[in-house]
Amino acid sequence: MYPEIFYSNTFTLLAEAEVGKHFYWDIAGFLVHGQVLLVSWFVLLILLVFSILGTNNADRIPHGWQNFMESAVDFVADIAKNQLGESFYKEWIPFVGTLFFFIFGCNWAGAIIPWKLIHLPEGELAAPTNDINTTVALALLTSFSYFYAGLSKKGLGYFKRYVQPLPLLLPINILEDFTKPLSLSFRLFGNVLADELTVSVLTSLVPLVVPLPIMCLGIFAGSVQALIFSTLAAAYIAEALE
């Protein structure tokens, strides 16, 4: 075979290769990953059920589900308070709390529920944070939020920070705003993907006992990733408000 034919066939095969298959939905002309939406809606439904159980028939002295939900809200309120301080944390609790609970629910749903038992025409169900589009969307929301926080407090004077303390730092300060969402999205995506791949490989090799400690470690790591993402989001907002 001539070298040019060999390389041509090789590049053709590489161009046709698909990394990961997805269950696509066509919504108003846009192709979306259906398996991500299905699990995301499931997580949102679970969070909604917990919220209803925790706020239904609320008493002055919390008990049962109300006590559990108030403890969870106090936890995310402490995250916002520790990063934003007494003056600003209350108005940002809904955003920081939504990030934490959604990522926490997605990571746990991917680690606990055996989604692979449900077969789809293409792709497979997994944690929504296992999809780079989900983590990038969450990171961009965080970026928009700290820009909004800075502009709402300082107006156009917020952009003075790009030339402080020296105008020579302008390229570095601009680059920092691009690296923040990149680091947020790839950190969350990489950790969740690595955990699911590890469990899948170990389950195929030793299907009985060995994967269980790794699954427990994945649950713990998923919780930590939710905490890290929401804490960094609150820290970026606090930086914009300084």
Cβ pair 129, 189 in contact under 8 A: yes
Q: What's the token pair of residue 232?
A: 């960094």
- pTM comes to 0.81
CA distance 127 to 134: 10
Residue at 164: amino acid letter: Q
Q: What's the token pair of residue 21?
A: 């298959």
Give the pLDDT of residue 22.
67
Give the pLDDT of residue 220.
83
- What residues does each domain of the chain span? 25-241
Give the pLDDT of residue 17.
37
Give the pLDDT of residue 57.
76
Tell which phi-psi region holds residue 105, choosing left (phi > 0), alpha (psi between -120 and 50) or beta: alpha
Three-class SS of residue 7?
Answer: helix
**Mean pLDDT value across residues 196-210:** 68
- Residues 126-180 pLDDT 10s: 788 888 888 999 999 998 988 888 888 878 777 777 777 777 777 787 888 788 8
The strand ranges marked E within the chain are 24-27, 30-33
Give the pLDDT of residue 206.
65
- Residues 55-90 pLDDT 10s: 887 777 767 777 888 888 888 889 888 888 888 788
CA distance 44 to 102: 7
Q: Using a pLDDT cut of 70, give the percent of the chain over it.
A: 82
Give the pLDDT of residue 13.
36
- Residues 182-198 pLDDT 10s: 888 888 888 888 777 77
